[in-house]
Structure 1
Amino acid sequence: MKPFLLAAGFAALGTVDLAFIDLRLVPAVLAPATPDAPRVAPPVVPPTAPPLVSAPEKTTMAMASPSPVKEKVEPIKEKAEPAPKAEPAPKAELTTETRSGTVTLHFDVNARTPAGDSAPDLKTIATMLAADPTLQVTIDGHSDRNGSAAYNDELSRQRAVAVADELAQLGVQRSRIASAAHGARAPIAIGKDAESLARNRRVEVHVERRKP
């Protein structure tokens, strides 16, 4: 029925020759159009950007400061210190500005030889005279005020001679030794107590330069 009506419609219009209508196509033409399925817009795919071709990396040469020139440090060679020269032994001298002085030796009561050890002092004097031929020794013997004047004079003389003999034994020439006896006439302590008397019992050895 539908093909007939369609053909009749076309004939009425006079626009289509029925001889050329293929009625087999009519059902397809007259078939109701199926509702369109909702069109889903295809996802917009952004154009793929061409892969970024990184430029060849420029090797950035850091302007490094020039490395310091390493100086060749030579190890410090310690110079061997020269062996100290043997210096002559210092000359024995008495503590005086004029190189002359006095050594005082003390004696016990009525003793003719010095009390204690007088050798170091006499050796010092002998060494001085050996080093300097212009020096000489004067020995003065003394006593305390006890006893007679004659006894004290002889006692003081013997004391001076004893010291002169010790110097001679140490090598001092007799010609360079002079001695004198003073008894109790030249005390250095005025009192009569034991300490003052002990100070006066003495022999004084003077080192002096010979007079021209």
Structure 2
Amino acid sequence: MNRTGTVAIVVAGALALSACGKKAPAQLPPEPGPATSSNGSDNSSMGAMAGSQADFVAKMMGSDTIYFALDKSDVDPEDQQALSKQAQWLMQYPSKRATIEGHADERGTREYNLALGERRANSAKNYLISLGVNPARLSTVSFGKERPIALGSDEQSWAQNRRAVTVTID
């Protein structure tokens, strides 16, 4: 193929692709307004329905997650404060159930990390029970190293992944 033919093909391809471009709509939708509630429930948690998972996360302000030292599953004083806050919320909504997810960092075997995640979830569960939460409302699951929140292979990332997260069930 000669140079003129090659140029013609490139130009034809560019024209064909430009014809496929999206066109802007004639009128854009209105900007979203503030969230409103028609049911009269407490909207203090940034529009979250009282007793929902979104309400739990908003009121916990990070206390839905506790962190552990390397190869540890014990609840330290900082974790106790977070779990106390969780227990208060759970006591306020006695029909709500929760699952505590245990996690580990990427080091260690899959089996070891699943067992460690289970110990971490059970430690958090047992502390909530000691604060008066009905054990029938709590379940645990271990994800081991399968669901990291931080993807790096450094101490900062590993520290974020050694955790137990409480998730309410609607």
TM-score (norm 1): 0.51
% identical equivalent positions: 28
How many equivalent pairs are there? Answer: 118
Distance in 1 between residues matched to 2:169 and 2:86, nearest whole Å = 11
Aligned residue number for residue 130 of structure 2: 169
Between structures 1 and 2, the one with greater helix share: 2
Aligned residue number for residue 27 of structure 2: none
For residue 131 of structure 1, report the CA deviation from its aligned partner. 2.1
2:48 is aligned with 1:97: yes
SS in 1 for 2:78: coil
Q: Which amino acid aligns with 2:104?
A: S
1:138–1:207 Cα contact (<8 Å) kept:
yes
What aligned pairs does 1:114-129 form with structure 2 within 5 A after superposition? 114-129=75-90
Closer/same/farther in 2, CA of residues 195 and 154 from structure 1, 3 Å limit: same
Aligned residue number for residue 113 of structure 1: 74
1:105–1:115 Cα contact (<8 Å) kept:
no
For residue 166 of structure 1, report the CA deviation from its aligned partner. 0.2
Q: Which amino acid aligns with 1:201?
A: R
Q: Which has the larger radius of gyration?
A: 1
Closer/same/farther in 2, CA of residues 186 and 109 from structure 1, 3 Å limit: same
The runs of 5 or more residues in structure 2 that have no matched partner are 1-43, 58-63
The runs of 5 or more residues in structure 1 that have no matched partner are 1-92
1:143–1:156 Cα contact (<8 Å) kept:
yes
Q: Which amino acid aligns with 2:102?
A: G
Distance in 1 between residues matched to 2:128 and 2:150, nearest whole Å = 27
Distance in 2 between residues matched to 1:94 and 1:136, nearest whole Å = 19
2:169 is aligned with 1:208: yes
Closer/same/farther in 2, CA of residues 207 and 95 from structure 1, 3 Å limit: farther
Aligned residue number for residue 142 of structure 1: 103
Q: Which amino acid aligns with 1:154?
A: A
Q: Which amino acid aligns with 1:178?
A: S
Closer/same/farther in 2, CA of residues 148 and 94 from structure 1, 3 Å limit: farther
2:156 is aligned with 1:195: yes
1:108–1:114 Cα contact (<8 Å) kept:
no
TM-score (norm 2): 0.63
What aligned pairs does 1:1-212 form with structure 2 within 5 A after superposition? 97-98=48-49, 99-100=52-53, 101-102=56-57, 103-209=64-170
Q: Structure 1 runs of 4+ off > 6 angstroms?
A: 93-96
Give the superposed CA RMSD.
2.2
